[in-house]
């Protein structure tokens, strides 16, 4: 919602602040959870921002959300592979992650569409509301 209502920079700021504050509150700053969360959030925001800007209306909120979820889960799996696991067997989880991404992205996209109809945000009255 922040990406659509306020823009890309604001969405990135929300991702970074959410990860930093959450990690500080639960004591996981610069631990594996921090890197998983940060990489997933940034990948998701980057992909969704790109699709909104360049997709020229090809995707609705559900499609954008699914692509964001796919980016998030793929980034997190690649971080796990690159920093800790180092076995290509972990990549066999990709099909499961894709199914989970489609389900989660659909739910989040539908909830976002529903919320955008109920509340008024700057920029939310356009194509995606």
Structure confidence by residue, pLDDT tens digits, 41-85: 999 999 999 999 887 778 889 999 999 999 999 999 999 888 888
Residue 74 belongs to some domain of the structure: yes
125: pLDDT confidence band, cut at 50, 70 and 90? low
pLDDT at 122: 60
Task: Give the tokens for residue 42.
Answer: 């940034």
Q: What percentage of residues in the chain have a pLDDT greater than 70? A: 92
pLDDT at 63: 94
Residue 123 belongs to some domain of the structure: no
25: pLDDT confidence band, cut at 50, 70 and 90? very high
Q: For residue 86, give its domain range.
A: 2-118
Residue 20 belongs to some domain of the structure: yes
Residue 42 belongs to some domain of the structure: yes
pLDDT for residue 102 is more than 90: yes
pLDDT at 55: 76
Residue 10 belongs to some domain of the structure: yes
Q: CA nearest 92: which of 107, 80, 105, 109?
A: 80
> What pTM was estimated for this model as a whole?
0.85
Residues shown for the chain = 129
Task: Give the N- to C-terminal CA distance of the chain in Å, as an integer.
Answer: 10
Query: Quick check: 66 and 109 in contact, CB under 8 A?
Result: yes
Count the domains in the chain: 1
Name the average pLDDT for the chain.
Answer: 89
């Amino acid at each position: 919602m922040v990406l659509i209502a306020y823009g890309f920079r604001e969405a990135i700021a929300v991702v970074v602040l959410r990860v930093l504050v959450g990690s500080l509150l639960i004591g996981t700053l610069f631990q594996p959870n921090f890197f998983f969360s940060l990489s997933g959030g940034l990948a998701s925001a980057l992909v969704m921002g790109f699709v909104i800007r360049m997709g020229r209306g090809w995707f609705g909120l559900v499609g954008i959300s699914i692509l964001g979820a796919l980016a998030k889960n793929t980034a997190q799996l690649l971080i796990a592979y690159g920093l800790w696991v180092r076995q290509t067997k972990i990549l066999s989880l990709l099909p499961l992650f894709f199914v989970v991404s489609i389900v989660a992205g659909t739910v989040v996209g539908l909830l976002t569409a529903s919320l955008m109809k109920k509340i008024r945000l700057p920029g939310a009255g356009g194509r995606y509301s």
